[in-house]
Amino acid sequence: MPEEKQHRTVIAVTDGASIPSRKDAGLFTAWRVSFVGSVALLIYLSVFHSDPYFRILKFLPDGIFITFQVTVEAILLALIIGLFTGLGRISKNKVINGIASVYVEVIRGIPLLVQLFYIYFALGRFINVPAMASAVIAMAVCYGAYMGEIYRAGIESIPKGQMEAARSLGMSHSQAMLHVILPQAFKTILPPIGNEFVALLKDSSLVSILAVSDLLRRGREFASETFTYFETYTMVALVYLIITLFLSKLISRMEERLGVNQ
Amino acid sequence: MSTNDRRVMVHIRNVDKYFGHLRALTDVSLDIYDGEKVVVIGPSGSGKSTLLRSINQLETIDAGTIIVDGFNLTDPATDINKVREEIGMVFQLFNVFPHKTVLENINLAQMLVRKRSREEATAISMELLNKVGIAEKIHQYPTKLSGGQQQRVAIARALAMKPKLMLFDEPTSALDPEMIGEVLDVMKTLAREGMTMIVVTHEMGFAREVADRVIFMDYGAIVEEGTPEHFFTNPTQERTQTFLKQIL
């Protein structure tokens, strides 16, 4: 069926970790080398050079927890903001479309770090938002704009005939969207959303500037007390690497399970 | 035709439609009566699909009037969803919902739009699936079905709304030759049961057998209309004669 092919459109990934493709077969894939290598290095350092490496490792889990907390909360919020942005971007209503488009343009034009400063320090003059909440809001507002583009591309990848068929049965536009278009678009947008999650997890290291005790911040606290900068940041980098590699793999597995790659 | 005593189902007057600068429909006027089977033929780009799609407002017209079952489509106060409930449409590319099973495809609009319970909807769906001859496929996903089967699901889905009018937009054009017959058979059954049907098709055998009236369109206008007998044996317009010579 001609429409079936269109329907499997893959959205180009512009940001974030690359997701291992199933075509990378064999024992020595880039992913395996990186993952096994970093885990082995982490274990080696912790066991054979336990001072200071193991001490550093014991100091980090609180930070890992905060990093995940920021990432998960921000991504959930971004998914909601993104849905409305994406719907706004395809809306025929000029006002709604205009607002959504301007939002995307503005946010994409400002570096995330500047946005973080802006929400926490600049807006701090008018309203006092706690650091953690500022961090989550800033990340969500930023990623919501990117997510909006993913939703838009996902919705637009569904053949026009699907909406027409739903409308010709008497469904309203929102019923058709909810029951026919979005469930199909979801399959298409799942991989890029997974990518955004990994990208957001990495970008969440920026919130350490706002005195949020994430993984990077915990590392900095440890390093500045013990002056073990090399050792600490080596461990921080390894922990980030292991987490993102693991998540990328998980996402590609999930993707296969859902048959997105058919 | 003795049509004065019959109810007009679709009333089309002086309709114009533009795509940019392209004039897709030019001053089209047409009445279609309750229970009538009208087949629209013509070369591609002649405006026949556009005319059909205007009847349930998948295309909005730029001038003229379309009244369907008493609802004036050009009146902004008309709730188009209400009108579409009464008009079934079958598409060239089937447009079945790939993320739903056959049964869910047919149940969906019944439950959302007609507000039937799942049990009621399923009973109606089962009856229709039997009628179109694919009752054994109810829990399959459409991608596992042949084109002909998918199109029959699409017909059942439209019929489940109990429409007063069925529109067919080249329903067999995307099908392999061996599957055309099974879809046409379903349409013939429907015609015998008295459904009002407007069919855009290139299947001249179907037109000859089923149509009460054949309409020939070219360059966005109705060139000639008449009974199949008149149309295929004795067309008066030169353009009709040329077209028929090309395809028969």
Q: Both tokens of residue B79?
A: 């709730």
What's the gap in Å between the CA of B109 and the closest CA on chain A? 6
Q: Is B99 in Cβ contact with A168 (below 8 Å)?
A: no
pLDDT at B101 over 80: yes
CA separation for the pair A14, A155 (Å, rounded): 18
Closest-CA residue to A147 (of A64, A95, A88, A93):
A88
Q: pLDDT of B225-246, one tens digit each?
A: 999 999 999 899 999 999 998 8
- Per the structure, the count of domains in chain A is 1
Q: Which of B98, B99, B109 sits opposite A170 (nearest CB)?
A: B109
Percent of chain A residues past pLDDT 90, beyond the cut: 74
pLDDT at B2 over 80: no
CA separation for the pair A164, B97 (Å, rounded): 11
Residue A117 lies in a domain: yes
Mean pLDDT, to the nearest integer, of A44-51?
Answer: 92
Q: Give B93's contacts in chain A (Cβ within 8 Å).
A: 1-3, 159, 161
Nearest CA in chain B to A180: B97
State the residue for tokens 């067919």. Answer: B168
Q: Which residues contact A147 (CB under 8 A, 6 or more apart)?
A: A78, A79, A81, A82, A83, A85, A86, A193, A196
Strands of B8-19's sheet, edge to edge?
A: B22-33, B8-19, B63-68, B71-72
The answer to whether A31 and A245 are in contact (CB under 8 A) is: yes
Q: From residue B92, how far is each of B19, B74, B83, B89, B167 by CA, in Å?
A: 20, 26, 22, 10, 11
What's the gap in Å between the CA of A186 and the closest CA on chain B? 11
Q: Is B112 in Cβ contact with A171 (below 8 Å)?
A: yes
Q: pLDDT of A191-243, one tens digit each?
A: 899 999 999 999 999 999 988 999 999 999 999 999 999 999 999 999 999 99
Residue A7 lies in a domain: no
CA separation for the pair B125, B111 (Å, rounded): 11
Q: Is A155 exposed, middle or buried (0-12, 13-18, 19+ CB in 10 A)?
A: buried
Percent of chain B residues past pLDDT 90, beyond the cut: 94
pLDDT averaged over every residue in chain A = 88
CA separation for the pair A185, A179 (Å, rounded): 11
Q: Give A187's contacts in chain B (Cβ within 8 Å).
A: 99
Residue A261 has a pLDDT of 42
Is B152's Cβ below 8 Å from some Cβ in A? no
pLDDT at A19 over 60: no
DSSP state of A122: I
Residue A85 lies in a domain: yes
- Outline where A157-181 has alpha helix (H): 160-168, 173-176
Residue A5 has a pLDDT of 43
Return the minimum-mean-pLDDT range out of A5-19, A24-38, A172-186.
A5-19
pLDDT averaged over every residue in chain B = 94
The answer to whether B116 and B124 are in contact (CB under 8 A) is: yes
Residue A2 lies in a domain: no
Residue A6 lies in a domain: no
Residue A16 lies in a domain: no
Radius of gyration of the CA atoms of chain A, in A: 21
Torsion of CA B98, B142, B125, A165, to 10 degrees: 40
The answer to whether B16 and B62 are in contact (CB under 8 A) is: yes
pLDDT at A17 over 50: no
Residue A3 lies in a domain: no
The residue segments making up the domain with residue A202 are: 25-258
DSSP state of A179: I
Residue A46 maps to which CATH number? 1.10.3720.10
CA separation for the pair A237, A243 (Å, rounded): 10
Mean pLDDT, to the nearest integer, of A132-146?
Answer: 94
Q: From residue B172, how far is each of B45, B101, B187, B200, B228 by CA, in Å?
A: 17, 22, 11, 10, 20
What's the gap in Å between the CA of A164 and the closest CA on chain B? 7
SS3 content of chain B, % helix, strand, coil (to 5): 40, 25, 35
Residue A29, number of CB atoms within 10 A of its CB: 14
Residue A29 has a pLDDT of 86
Band the pLDDT of A262: cuts 50, 70, 90. Answer: very low
Whole-prediction pTM: 0.84
Band the pLDDT of A61: cuts 50, 70, 90. Answer: very high
The answer to whether A66 and A127 are in contact (CB under 8 A) is: no
> HEC states along B62-113?
CEEEEEECCEECCCCCCCHHHHHHCEEEECCCCCCCCCCCHHHHHHHHHHHC
Q: pLDDT of B129-173, one tens digit each?
A: 999 999 999 999 999 999 999 999 999 999 999 999 999 999 999
Residue A14 has a pLDDT of 44
Residue A21 has a pLDDT of 56
CA separation for the pair B94, A158 (Å, rounded): 14
pLDDT at B92 over 80: yes
Residue A188 lies in a domain: yes
Percent of chain A residues past pLDDT 70, beyond the cut: 89
Percent of chain B residues past pLDDT 70, beyond the cut: 98
